[in-house]
Structure 1
Amino acid sequence: MLEAIAGDAAAIAQFGTFLEMTQPEIFEAVQDDALLSASFWVNIALAGLSILLFVYMGRNVKDPRAQLIFVATLMVPLVSISSYTGLVSGLTISFLEMPAGHALAGEEVLTMWGRYLTWALSTPMILLALGLLAGSNATDLFTILVADISMCVTGLAAALTVSSHGLRWFWYFISCMFFLVVLYVLLVKWPEDAKANGTAEIFNTLKILTVAMWLGYPIFWALGAEGIAVLDVAITSWAYSGLDIVAKYIFAFLLLNWVAKNESVIADMPSVGVDRSGASGAAPADD
């Protein structure tokens, strides 16, 4: 009996030490997993190259609306390079004990909560750029941005909740409800705006790309260690990183390349406050 108690005490002490890992120890743990570490470093490199490329692509853009699209889009790799540096350094990673009912109940799972900060800051910039491209009115733009940020914040809550397995999935459900609002504006509202403003072809391409990639995030969350744990942490991280590469850098290149070549189309659009019928009374943008 005494040996069993001593063994349990040792296990608890070791468990507590593991959960309270210092940042250098987390950094070493990340570097020791080559697959996990590579999923961060590849994105740091691609984000850095994207920043340089996008600045070069926008060097001759003069129209204020086109410039705003460039600035919003440029923020995406800027946020990403900062976020992935936080992940690879161990600054925005923690080990959390999964609650009862989870597939890994009682185990310490590496949680990359810094990704949610990235999404909360970068995805609104993607949507802002898309809204400006489509010629969105202010109401739709405000609605989708608030829903998007709420989606990311509630997703973070799902990842960090360890008090109840059921509450983790309830947070996940709330996040998905906000995602449906984002999809509604992207798929129903903005295509009409883009058609009216002459940007439908490029908007529809980017819309399909965005929706297809963004659907992957909740799917991999559910399959990964934070969900039902079919996929391990490194594979899940690579899934997220792969989605980021397409949804951010490739998306941004396609958008900015089109805007740079069709600046006159952007310049002829009404200001953000004008709806499709032009009934809002806001003044049109200067030519």
Structure 2
Amino acid sequence: MAADAAAVAQLWQPLELTQPEVYEQVQDDFLLNLSFWANIALAGISILVFLYMGRNLENSKSKLIFVATLMVPLVSISSYTGLASGLTISFLEMPPGHALAGEEVLTMWGRYLTWALSTPMILLALGLLAGTNLTKLFTAITADIAMCVTGLAAALTVSSHGLRWFWYFLSCTFFLVVLYILLVEWPKDAEAAGTAEIFNLLKILTVVMWLGYPIVWGLGAEGLAVLEAVWITSWAYSVLDIVAKYIFAFLLLNWLVSNESIISEFGWSADTGAGAATPADD
């Protein structure tokens, strides 16, 4: 009888899905799978377009901005391939207190991992465009990486519902640091560098889009589960990525190739570090 009871208990115990099984689940959800492959296609097209756009850049700082911008779709195509293949997806049982407590929820943790690689490149390009100093650039990038890593922790923590939200709010705290630099510090640097017009456009686009990510997490299946369908959450993230990455990068590179002389005349030099024209620390 004890053996029978153990066998029954084992039947009810959720089994960890293998990668092929996760892949099959993704393939069976057409809209979820489409949200991945749409971004793979757009990232691939973006890489080719950006390589063509930046082919004639000559200034070292312009080239550094170009490389940082190009890294965004390069990381994205890797990210979405990992999601589409089931490599960076897991099914996690939500803890007590969660709206879906006891249920296994598909968690796309690979997004957070690759955001920690792609979003610093966006900030690097923006910081260089603004002609900021290395202290502000380092602060923005490290706070951004911390934001992504703590967001990953929020997604993967299943031991406590409260700890999930603690990680979430800790991630939002790091995000506030990034927002302060984007909205307060770098606009002054961009004004001095003569790049305020394009910087302010990209700043607004970045801030508005990036605010969408914590909102989607909070409303999605991993948070309050208001948007319970995983494909809805995935498409929300995918649309945000399209605007915050590919459209952002196109606007930046399109301006850069036409205004390379402005970049070469002022600001941080990729060859020598902080140049003589670099704005002083506040």
TM-score, normalisation: structure 1: 0.92
Instruction: Assess, with a 3 A threshold, how the Cα gap between structure 1 residues 236 and 11 changes in structure 2: closer, same or farther.
Output: farther
Q: Deviations over 1:100-144 (max 9, x none)?
A: 000000000000000001110000000000000000101100000
Q: Indicate the SS of the match to 1:204.
A: helix
Matches within 5 A, 1:47-86: 47-86=43-82
Q: Is the 8 A contact 1:30 1:36 kept in 2?
A: yes
Q: Indicate the SS of the match to 2:207.
A: helix
Q: 1:249 aligns with which of 234, 243, 246?
A: 246
Give the AA of the match of 1:171. W
Counterpart of 2:215 in structure 1 is 219
TM-score, normalisation: structure 2: 0.93
Equivalent pairs counted in the alignment come to 274
Matching of residue 13 in structure 1 with residue 11 in structure 2: yes
Q: Deviations over 1:220-239 (max 9, x none)?
A: 00000110001121100000
Counterpart of 2:232 in structure 1 is 235
TM-aligned CA deviation for residue 151 of structure 1? 0.1
Matches within 5 A, 1:1-287: 10=8, 12-17=10-15, 20-231=16-227, 232-271=229-268, 273=274, 278=279
Q: Distance in 1 between matches of 2:251 and 2:278?
A: 29
Q: Indicate the SS of the match to 2:14.
A: helix
Give the AA of the match of 2:99. A
RMSD (Å), alpha carbons? 1.7
TM-aligned CA deviation for residue 276 of structure 1? 7.6
Q: Deviations over 1:43-94 (max 9, x none)?
A: 0000000000000000000000000000000000000000100000000000
Q: Indicate the SS of the match to 1:226.
A: coil
Q: Deviations over 1:145-176 (max 9, x none)?
A: 00000000000000000000000000000000
Q: Is the 8 A contact 2:90 2:107 kept in 1?
A: yes
TM-aligned CA deviation for residue 269 of structure 1? 1.3
Which segment drifts farther, 267-276 or 190-199?
267-276
Give the AA of the match of 1:112. M
Q: Deviations over 1:7-46 (max 9, x none)?
A: x9647525422xx111111001001000100000000000
Q: Indicate the SS of the match to 1:95.
A: strand
Gaps of 5+ in 2: none
Q: Is the 8 A contact 2:32 2:234 kept in 1?
A: yes
Gaps of 5+ in 1: 281-287
Q: Distance in 1 between matches of 2:111 and 2:275?
A: 35
Counterpart of 1:285 in structure 2 is none
TM-aligned CA deviation for residue 277 of structure 1? 7.1
Q: Is the 8 A contact 1:43 1:84 kept in 2?
A: yes
Instruction: Assess, with a 3 A threshold, how the Cα gap between structure 1 residues 58 and 85 changes in structure 2: closer, same or farther.
Output: same
Counterpart of 1:284 in structure 2 is none
Q: Distance in 2 between matches of 1:150 and 1:197?
A: 28
Identity %: 75
